[in-house]
Amino acid sequence: MVWHLPPQWPAIASRTHFCSGCCFSSSVLIFSVAISRWRSASMMILSRLSSQLGLTGASRFEAHHADPGPSLSTLGLLRYPKHDKSAADATAAPRNVGHNKHTDVGSLTFLLAAQWGLQYLSLTTKRWEFIEPPAGHAVINVGDSLRFLSGGKLASVVHRVVPLRRQTQDEDRYSIAYFLRMNDGGVFHDTTGKAWTANDWHDFKFGVFKNPSALDAKGRFLTGMMMEESDKLEGGEVQIAVTA
């Protein structure tokens, strides 16, 4: 889903550079306004989806995302450092820059990025396809908990971040993601019928991100059980995990 950002919303979507010092501290207010607006927009989307699916009362998606939580909803600011494997100092250059294939842990993700790099796994072509950074818009992903809560009626997108040219990225890439997550203790069932609380699923999946080969050799949890049958991709796999 691509979401149009109204012009009066904080102008952070088109930024292609942030430093961790002055840029960040001068942006705290902007980020808090952004979080509040993205949360409102996310709740509106949840409400429309609940109505479309005929959900009522406590089974509506909004009921699992009450404010104040507690919840693990969060804002992430990601930097993918530039690198060039063929450069003279290639040994010192960052390697394996990107984000490995995954589905998002929570309910909805509001993703802003002005630079290329995001790919999704097309269920139609069975290939990784680049998503053109949509100027003035956010990309919105359905995450695992919303997919499971909806009993599979809503699908999560398997996605990853890769350098545009395989070994080279000419500039740092930045993205901002607002992750709306269910209230702690909220329960859903995965595709095997196993019950999880939202926070247990979050913690388990972050363990998988850190150590996929030990905890999730088949990539089932990484991909929110979206790739049970169709893990055959054109273009091969890349193992990438480095952001800063």
Binding site for ligand AKG (CB under 6 A): 76, 78, 99, 104, 111, 113, 118, 159, 161, 175, 177
| Least distance from ligand AKG to the Cβ atom of residue 49, Å | 20
| Least distance from ligand AKG to the Cβ atom of residue 60, Å | 25
| Least distance from Fe ion to the Cβ atom of residue 156, Å | 9
Report d(CA 55, CA 160) in Å as an integer.
32
Shorter beta-carbon distance to Fe ion: residue 104 or 144: 104
Q: Phi and psi of 178, rounded to 5°?
A: -100, 120
Shorter beta-carbon distance to ligand AKG: residue 117 or 186: 117
Report d(CA 145, CA 137) in Å as an integer.
24
Q: Report the site for Fe ion in 76-105 (rule: CB under 5 A).
A: 104
Report d(CA 43, CA 107) in Å as an integer.
10
Q: Which does 78 bind (CB under 5 to 8 A by kind): ligand AKG, Fe ion, none?
A: ligand AKG
Both tokens of 221, joined, read 């949890």
Q: Is 144 in the site for Fe ion (CB under 5 A)?
A: no
Q: Which of 137, 134, 186 lies closest to 38 in space, CA to CA?
A: 137
In contact, 42 and 145? CB cutoff 8 Å:
no
- Return residues touching Fe ion (CB under 5 A): 104
